[in-house]
Structure 1
Amino acid sequence: MLLSGKTRGDRVIWSIVAVLVVISLLAVYSSTGSLAYKQNKGNTEYYLFRQITFIVIGVGVIYFTHLVDYRFFSKVALWLYIASIPLLLYTLLFGANLNEANRWIKLPLINLTFQTSDFARLALFMYLARQISRKQNVITDFKKGYLPMLLPIGITCLLIAPANLSTCLLTGATGLLVLFMGRASIKHLLLTIGIAAIPVVMLIAAAVFTHKSEAATVAANNESGVVQNIRKQGRVGTWVSRIQDFIYAEGDAVPYQVQQAKVAIAKGSWIGLGPGNSEQRNFLPHPYSDFIYAIIIEEYGFLGGMLMVFLYLAFLYRCIRIVGKCPYAFGTFLALALGVTLAIQAISNMAVNVNIVPVTGVTLPLVSMGGTSFLFTCFSIGILLSIARNIEQLEGKEEPAKAEVAA
């Protein structure tokens, strides 16, 4: 299954990965010190060694994946996508529940939680890249070309949405962007965006309506039946309340995690408090995952925060270069999907931390504390480097590999 050969691929991406994992070690160790002390009887290094383990495994995943001819993934894309559907259904019905959302399933024996949406996204993009490359002649035809590629995106997004709306939106937006780059009809894309925007507009309208209803009835201390019903709708109520908090919350009404993130950013100023000197890690919920960017700014200041933005933009730029150079349609669309989704995920996490968008559960790729999401990110980067490595071979910068992929 593996190709023999030296480590190749885009050296800038390799360098960015190296810098991000070093930042991850520093940030995770700092943000988990107090948590590790409380949960592990004074052992403050517990999560540090855990993160080192994930980084070692993740770098191994990148290395061995980049040695695989990326065209192999075209052969297994359909089967991976088919496997992702029952996994998402099982997670939705029987997955581990956290904050009224079933996002994970527990893997037996190793007692590790597995977020099936990460696998589903990767499988979807492989399948989508395969289909677009095969349907270029009919992609502008709605029934023969566009609809067969839109349906997989819709099915995956609908199964992800109940537990993780932010990941659903990220996946859908990336899928439509890949279809756009694949020369799908603009008319079809606009129609899809218009239909997809309906539930989003309804959520915003519900947030505005319930806020006005609450304001009108607060004096009587008696919420309307409509407001109460919306609040009881599980995840829908969570989405509505987050939109409300983002639009209307002021002062003490601002969500606790947003308040603490703002305090962390304010303390960081230009150069920060220094490595390991974060104070808000003791107050900020999930400082090692969802809000790790705020901890980075607190410790390394505005300059450290801008460095993170630069690294992810540089990563996106190198992915775009790979897209431009790849001679095969499958590699082009796969590199586009994987590169864009990782960059948008990073930007979304940072936007949440600085309160530009409502709170979501999106992690910072390669920096947030390790888990299966970290490993799937590494797998995606390995595929990108495999595509870059293939380009080098075709350009004559590397001798062709002696061993071919074994199906």
Structure 2
Amino acid sequence: MSNSKDILTNSFSSSAHEVTGNLLKRTKGDKVIWAIVVVLTMVSILVVYSSIGSLAYKMNKSTESYLFKQIGFIALGVLIIYFAHRVNYTIYSRVATILFLISVPLLIYTLKFGSSINEANRWIKLPVINMTFQTSDLAKLALFMYISRQLSRRQNVIKDFKKGFLPLIVPVIIICILIAPANLSTALLIGGTAMMLMFIGRVSLRHIMLVVASALVPLMLLILVATHYYNKEDHTSKDLPSILTFGRMSTWIKRVQDFMYSDKSDASYQVQQAKIAIAKGGLLGKGPGKSEQRNFLPHPYSDFIYAIIIEEYGLAGGTIIVLIYLLFLFRSIRIFQRCPYAFGAFLAVALSFTLVIQAMVNMGVTVNLFPTTGVTLPLVSMGGSSLWFTCFAIGIILSVARNVEQMEGKEPEPELEPVES
């Protein structure tokens, strides 16, 4: 009997090793990026478990249930990365237009009928599985795939305003306008990243500066309004006229005021608690699971998770996280430099820029370098659909890296030919 058990055990063990070996052999792409994914997801599990207590208490659930939920999200996310990186990246060029055309009506539907959370219609609820996701995540991914395709196809006319610039900027404007009413910070991040991508893609600097100047006008007006309606004597916000209370305008004004006058008594409660967490963390932190501000920060497991990282792991831990994201950007730029085809190069750098800029903005909000936003820390914040879209973007970057590795040392396969239009 014992011999039979040993045979079954050995057979199962050898099968498991064989499956693992086959997966490792089929896992290609930049090994450093794969390592970064592993490190950040491990950090996510540790910090989310540490910071989830207040939410678990509020929802009358155990912290372990949220831990296993996050592990499940991460496991599915890693599978998404694996399958996305196995697809030849030229396929994404073929579906870019379709995804972009799908994302536009989805954003319109979200604005009108989306689920309202924190006074913003950013989510739509999927039937059957009863799960919500932000349509802006899909739109952002689709937009950068589409822009990368257009940049690669219009290099011969890229300096021309009508043939080169307009086909690029119009989709950006459409997406940003549809996202801005519910999520201004995401719209600004998408617009800024798109401008950087166009600069890398040799778009005329004069055309780019024209768009930047046009975008700065409403931002400056927002700052002027926030300054005008702030009472500097008692450090409170003045009553806004009805014309400035539509949509989320009042929220934007309040956040700008909190940022500009953060040293005053009515500064944002979130920012104040984040500063306390950073001060308590010191150089080496209080230790894993020993955060105190997790009980006071409104969203310590998502928007302000970086504050919990610094409190528990100190300035040293926070610096390491910053360096990890910069390393991810550096490796993606290496892929951009090595890729022989324009679409793959633009796609890799576009998706890496948007993820790293999002991470820097999230961390910058925590240390009060930017006004409060609703963006999460990629691969670290607790999430569902946002985590999966991040994993899909990383999978696409690794797909480009995998194909670059395959093409080096042999004749590359033909990609989609650029066309003038």
Which interval holds the TM-score relative to the shorter structure?
A: over 0.9
Q: Deviations over 1:6-35 (max 9, x none)?
A: 111000000011000000000000000342
Does 2:31 align with 1:18?
no
Amino acid at match of 1:171: I
Query: What CA distance in whole angstroms lies between the structure 1 residues aligned with 2:244 and 2:163?
Result: 42
Does 2:22 align with 1:9?
no
Does 2:174 align with 1:161?
no
Identity of aligned residues (%): 61
> How many equivalent pairs are there?
391
Amino acid at match of 1:20: L
Does 2:81 align with 1:62?
yes
Conserved in 2, the CA contact under 8 Å of 1:230 and 1:237?
Answer: no
Query: What CA distance in whole angstroms lies between the structure 1 residues aligned with 2:123 and 2:294?
Result: 25
Q: Deviations over 1:320-351 (max 9, x none)?
A: 10111110000011111100000000000000
Give the one of 98, 123, 133 matched to 2:142.
123
Deviation of 1:181 (Å): 1.0
Helix, strand or coil for the counterpart of 2:301?
Answer: coil
Query: What CA distance in whole angstroms lies between the structure 1 residues aligned with 2:368 and 2:241?
Result: 27
Give the one of 339, 344, 347 matched to 1:331.
344
Query: What CA distance in whole angstroms lies between the structure 1 residues aligned with 2:367 and 2:100?
Result: 35
Helix, strand or coil for the counterpart of 2:157?
Answer: coil
Deviation of 1:148 (Å): 1.1
Q: Which runs of 4+ in 1 moved over 3 A?
A: 221-224
Amino acid at match of 2:173: G
Deviation of 1:400 (Å): 9.6
TM-aligned CA distance change 1:48 to 1:222, over 3 Å: closer
Deviation of 1:176 (Å): 1.1
Does 2:321 align with 1:308?
yes
Amino acid at match of 1:9: G
Give the one of 237, 252, 268 matched to 1:255.
268
Q: Which residue of 1 aligns with 2:223?
A: 204
TM-aligned CA distance change 1:159 to 1:268, over 3 Å: same
What do you get for the CA RMSD once the two structures are aligned?
A: 2.1
Gaps of 5+ in 2: 1-22, 414-421
Query: What CA distance in whole angstroms lies between the structure 2 residues aligned with 1:188 and 1:60?
Result: 41
Deviation of 1:178 (Å): 1.0
Amino acid at match of 1:126: M
Query: What CA distance in whole angstroms lies between the structure 2 residues aligned with 1:287 and 1:140?
Result: 46
TM-aligned CA distance change 1:370 to 1:100, over 3 Å: closer
Deviation of 1:197 (Å): 1.1
Query: What CA distance in whole angstroms lies between the structure 2 residues aligned with 1:139 and 1:166?
Result: 29
Query: What CA distance in whole angstroms lies between the structure 2 residues aligned with 1:286 and 1:230?
Result: 31
Query: What CA distance in whole angstroms lies between the structure 2 residues aligned with 1:20 and 1:208?
Result: 39
With the length of structure 2 as denominator, give the TM-score of the two structures.
0.89
Conserved in 2, the CA contact under 8 Å of 1:24 and 1:369?
Answer: yes
TM-aligned CA distance change 1:152 to 1:312, over 3 Å: same
Q: Deviations over 1:231-286 (max 9, x none)?
A: 52331111111111111243431111111111111110011111111111111111
Helix, strand or coil for the counterpart of 2:299?
Answer: coil
Gaps of 5+ in 1: 402-407
* Structure number with larger C-alpha Rg: 2
Query: What CA distance in whole angstroms lies between the structure 1 residues aligned with 2:332 and 2:192?
Result: 18
Query: What CA distance in whole angstroms lies between the structure 2 residues aligned with 1:55 and 1:386?
Result: 19
Give the one of 372, 378, 383 matched to 1:359.
372
Q: Which residue of 1 aligns with 2:92?
A: 73
Give the one of 406, 410, 413 matched to 1:393.
406
Query: What CA distance in whole angstroms lies between the structure 1 residues aligned with 2:381 and 2:166?
Result: 36
Conserved in 2, the CA contact under 8 Å of 1:68 and 1:386?
Answer: yes
TM-aligned CA distance change 1:178 to 1:222, over 3 Å: closer
Q: Which residue of 2 aligns with 1:111?
A: 130
Helix, strand or coil for the counterpart of 1:97?
Answer: strand
Q: Which residue of 2 aligns with 1:291?
A: 304
TM-aligned CA distance change 1:114 to 1:156, over 3 Å: same
Q: Deviations over 1:342-385 (max 9, x none)?
A: 00000000000111111000100000002100000000000000
Q: Which residue of 1 aligns with 2:282?
A: 269
TM-aligned CA distance change 1:5 to 1:72, over 3 Å: farther
Amino acid at match of 2:350: A
Query: What CA distance in whole angstroms lies between the structure 1 residues aligned with 2:55 and 2:102?
Result: 37
Query: What CA distance in whole angstroms lies between the structure 2 residues aligned with 1:222 and 1:36?
Result: 34
Query: What CA distance in whole angstroms lies between the structure 2 residues aligned with 1:400 and 1:142?
Result: 33
Query: What CA distance in whole angstroms lies between the structure 2 residues aligned with 1:363 and 1:4?
Result: 30
Query: What CA distance in whole angstroms lies between the structure 1 residues aligned with 2:119 and 2:348?
Result: 34
Q: Which residue of 1 aligns with 2:168?
A: 149
Query: What CA distance in whole angstroms lies between the structure 1 residues aligned with 2:143 and 2:362?
Result: 22
